């Protein structure tokens, strides 16, 4: 079993709250981590017998079930949350009683916000981080190619990885989405996901996507909401500041897992990735996910943006921690030079960021200029260089 970075955070949440909620995409390792953290009774609410056991008389069933209790896919039984609130409030200071797992963020967080506000700590678990993947024998380039889902990341055979990713997409489109949004047409959604792979790393033009798909603008936005809710897509908003400059106002769109992106693009091995026209955007998205996944564990209140002016000046990622803003330029090259941090210098002068980083595929980390550091990606992610 590969140790997860989120282990300590989840343990802390269970120690400080009556309940904890762990969100994340299917097959990213939530159940495995839950079983490792909590020596608890486990109920899977997608399993008819487990759901039926609770659905008949939720309060009686919960009162007569040994604690602590893990409830997997908790969004399948939303009526459980008001009952949990009442039981928690009977012994408000007794922490670590319930661990809820879910793979549909908006519906589950909405139910939690209404029923368990102040009673539950929330953690998002992502597929493997680089620091975790190396414990499974992968280097950063292999992880980038295969993505972070354990079923694909730890599979050396390209044909088997292809089959795993295809099965994941089909299950997602044909089962999960139809349960969450029955009016969606599976074939159309599958086409839309494939189209997004070619838009990966680009400024979102929903009208253009709508024309290509033969639907309206609102339908595209709805599709994006669904995909984002299932943790497959990230819309990175632009950072706006009043400096008298014309700024891009639409978000960027990324598929969150690089392995899934490569599957949809037909990139099955390192040689294909090396010559792919989407190589730069793929690396950019991979690094953004790695940085933000770690940030969400260590500083969950941080906000993320990109910055681009109409003139073309761009910062790939801005992480706003409240008291400071960090800017990241992400380069797929094995070496960098002064031109690679020029926009960061301008952003420092304008007060847009407080510190800048150039993250690249090389091995050497060094200070490049006042308040600007160059970081080798592997050193930053594996050895845990603090930013």
Q: What tokens does 71 get?
A: 């409830």
State the Cα–Cα distance between residues 112 and 105, nearest whole angstrom: 10
> What is the model's pLDDT at position 105?
72
pTM metric for this prediction: 0.93
327, 356 contact by CB (below 8 A): yes
Residue ranges in the chain whose pLDDT is less than 70: 107, 242-248, 384-387
Cβ within 8 Å of residue 163, ≥6 positions away: none
Q: What tokens does 314 get?
A: 């761009």
DSSP letters for 183-211: TS-HHHHHHHHHHHHHHTTEEP-HHHHHH
> What is the model's pLDDT at position 318?
97
Strands (DSSP E) along 241-302, which ranges? Answer: 252-255
Calculated CA dihedral for residues 164, 167, 169, 174, nearest 10 degrees: -170
The helix/strand/coil state of 334 is coil
2, 132 contact by CB (below 8 A): yes
State the Cα–Cα distance between residues 289 and 124, nearest whole angstrom: 12
Residue showing tokens 């295809």? 166
97, 88 contact by CB (below 8 A): yes
Q: What tokens does 299 get?
A: 């500083």
- Beta-bridged to residue 101, according to DSSP, are 22
Angstrom distances, CA of residue 183 to CA of 76, 102, 223: 18, 22, 11
Cβ within 8 Å of residue 347, ≥6 positions away: 307, 315, 327, 353, 356
State the Cα–Cα distance between residues 221 and 206, nearest whole angstrom: 7
DSSP letters for 60-118: HHHHTS-SSEEEETGGG-TTHHHHHHHHHHHTTT--S-EEEEES-HHHHHHHHHHH-TT
State the Cα–Cα distance between residues 2 and 104, nearest whole angstrom: 25
State the Cα–Cα distance between residues 270 and 266, nearest whole angstrom: 12
Phi, psi of 252, deg, nearest 5: -90, 155
State the Cα–Cα distance between residues 298 and 354, nearest whole angstrom: 19
> What is the model's pLDDT at position 248?
67
List, in order of start, the domains of the chain with CATH numbers.
Answer: 7-124 (3.40.50.300), 130-382 (1.10.10.10)
Calculated CA dihedral for residues 155, 159, 161, 163, nearest 10 degrees: -130
> What is the model's pLDDT at position 198?
95
299, 306 contact by CB (below 8 A): no
């Amino acid at each position: 079993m590969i140790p997860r970075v989120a282990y300590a955070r989840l343990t802390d949440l269970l120690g400080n709250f009556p309940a904890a909620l762990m969100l994340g995409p299917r097959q990213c390792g939530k159940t495995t981590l839950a079983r490792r953290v909590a020596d608890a009774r486990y109920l899977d609410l997608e399993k008819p017998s487990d759901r039926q056991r609770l659905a008949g008389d939720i309060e009686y069933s919960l009162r007569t079930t040994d604690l602590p209790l893990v409830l997997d896919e908790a969004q399948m039984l939303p009526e459980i949350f008001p009952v949990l609130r009442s039981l928690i409030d009977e012994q408000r200071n007794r922490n670590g009683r319930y661990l809820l797992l879910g793979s549909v963020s908006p519906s589950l967080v909405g139910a939690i916000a209404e029923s368990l506000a102040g009673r539950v700590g929330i953690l998002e678990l992502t597929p493997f981080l680089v620091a975790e993947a190396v414990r499974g024998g992968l280097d950063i380039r292999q992880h980038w190619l295969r993505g972070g889902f354990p079923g694909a990341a730890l599979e050396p055979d390209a044909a088997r990885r292809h089959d795993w990713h295809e099965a994941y997409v089909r299950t997602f489109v044909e089962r999960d989405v139809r349960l969450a949004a029955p009016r969606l047409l599976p074939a159309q959604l599958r086409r839309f996901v494939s189209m997004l792979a070619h838009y990966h790393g680009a400024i979102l033009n929903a009208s253009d996507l709508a024309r290509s798909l033969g639907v309206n603008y609102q339908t595209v936005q709805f599709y994006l909401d669904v995909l984002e809710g299932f943790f497959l897509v990230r819309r990175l908003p632009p950072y706006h500041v009043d400096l008298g400059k014309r700024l891009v106002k639409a978000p960027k769109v990324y598929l969150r897992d690089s392995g899934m992106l490569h599957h949809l693009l037909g990139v099955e091995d390192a040689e294909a990735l090396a010559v792919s026209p989407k190589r730069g955007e793929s690396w950019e998205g991979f690094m953004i996910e790695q940085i933000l996944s770690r940030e969400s564990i260590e500083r969950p209140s941080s906000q993320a943006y990109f910055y681009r002016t109409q003139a073309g000046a761009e910062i790939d990622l801005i992480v706003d921690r409240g008291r400071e803003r960090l800017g990241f330029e992400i380069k797929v090259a094995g070496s960098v030079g002064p031109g690679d941090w020029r926009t960061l210098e301008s952003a420092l002068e304008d007060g847009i960021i407080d510190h800048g980083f150039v993250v690249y595929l090389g091995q050497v980390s060094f200070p490049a200029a006042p308040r600007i550091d160059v970081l080798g990606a592997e050193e930053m992610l594996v050895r845990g260089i603090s930013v």
